[in-house]
């Protein structure tokens, strides 16, 4: 079965040199929204943890709220790290050239949920290391996009892979899925075309 959390790439690689040059400034409003939304999402994740321990699943409304937050996070990171060009919407409900497909709420194992924070440590460490690779890709991509007016496909794909690992790890720790993150740089054979 494909992983329930997939990064879907429909980006055309074209970049506006002006927005690339000022990308760090343009993302500031999103940063403030993301910080505020993240505070509320963390409270929702704690509530979801108790819900899974009691009922064996995250309630659909709570799952959808956390999923919207994670999709919005994906859009902001994709924009900030030059993996996509258009300015992202201030919601996690609209589509974006680098998007996150999240499966609906499903039953989860109560025992692994109880120990999720400990089970997630290796994935969090790997995702943390890969974030540095993602930042290096963004820096190289910034120079390439300014010179070429487009993001090299290889750089975009490596950046999308690091983003996928990161978002699958966050989804695992946020109780959107009990499936462990997939670290392979190639998508699973059954994954949707265009997904990473």
Residue 140 falls within a domain, yes or no?
A: yes
Across the range 22-32, mean pLDDT stands at: 97
Cβ count near 136 (within 10 Å): 14
Task: Report percent pLDDT > 90 for the chain.
Answer: 91
Residue 185 falls within a domain, yes or no?
A: no
Residue 27 falls within a domain, yes or no?
A: yes
Residue 113 falls within a domain, yes or no?
A: yes
Cα 146 to the center of its chain, rounded Å: 25
List the one residue out of 158, 101, 171 whose CA is nearest residue 130. Answer: 158
Beta bridge partners of 6: 101
- Tens of pLDDT, residue by residue over 123-153, are 999 999 999 999 999 999 999 999 999 999 9
Q: What is the pLDDT of residue 196?
A: 66
Mean per-residue pLDDT over the chain, rounded: 94
Residue 162 falls within a domain, yes or no?
A: yes
- Tens of pLDDT, residue by residue over 38-59, are 999 999 999 999 999 999 999 9
Residue 196 falls within a domain, yes or no?
A: no
Total domains present in the chain: 1
Q: What is the pLDDT of residue 10?
A: 94
Radius of gyration of the chain (CA): 17
Cβ count near 24 (within 10 Å): 11
Is the pLDDT at 189 greater than 60? The verdict is no
Residue 189 falls within a domain, yes or no?
A: no
Q: What is the pLDDT of residue 92?
A: 86
Is the pLDDT at 158 greater than 80? The verdict is yes
Contact 55, 161 (CB under 8 A): no
Beta bridge partners of 14: 150
Is the pLDDT at 188 greater than 90? The verdict is no
pLDDT category at 1 given cuts 50, 70, 90 is confident
Residue 94 falls within a domain, yes or no?
A: yes
Q: What is the pLDDT of residue 194?
A: 65
Domain extent, residue 27, equals: 5-173
What DSSP string runs through 139-177? HHHHHHHHHHSB--HHHHHHHHHHHHHHHHHHHHHTTS-
H/E element holding 110? helix 110-114
DSSP structure class, residue 195: B
């Amino acid at each position: 079965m494909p992983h329930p959390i997939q990064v879907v790439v429909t980006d055309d690689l074209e970049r506006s040199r002006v927005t690339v040059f000022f990308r760090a400034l343009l993302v500031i409003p999103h940063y403030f929204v993301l910080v505020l939304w993240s505070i509320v999402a963390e409270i929702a994740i704690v509530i979801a943890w108790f819900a899974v321990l009691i009922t064996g699943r995250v309630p659909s409304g709570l799952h959808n709220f956390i999923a919207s937050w994670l999709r919005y996070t994906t859009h902001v990171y994709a924009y900030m790290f030059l993996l996509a060009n258009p300015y992202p919407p201030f919601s996690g409900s609209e589509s974006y050239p680098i998007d996150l497909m999240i499966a609906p709420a499903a039953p989860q194992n109560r025992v692994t949920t109880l120990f999720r924070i400990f089970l997630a440590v290796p994935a969090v460490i790997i995702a943390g290391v890969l974030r540095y690779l993602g930042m290096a890709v963004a820096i190289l991509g910034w120079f390439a996009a300014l010179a070429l007016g487009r993001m090299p496909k290889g750089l975009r794909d490596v950046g999308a892979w690091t983003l996928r690992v990161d978002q699958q790890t966050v989804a695992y720790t946020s109780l959107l899925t009990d499936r462990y993150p997939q670290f392979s740089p190639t998508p699973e054979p059954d994954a949707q075309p265009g997904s990473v």
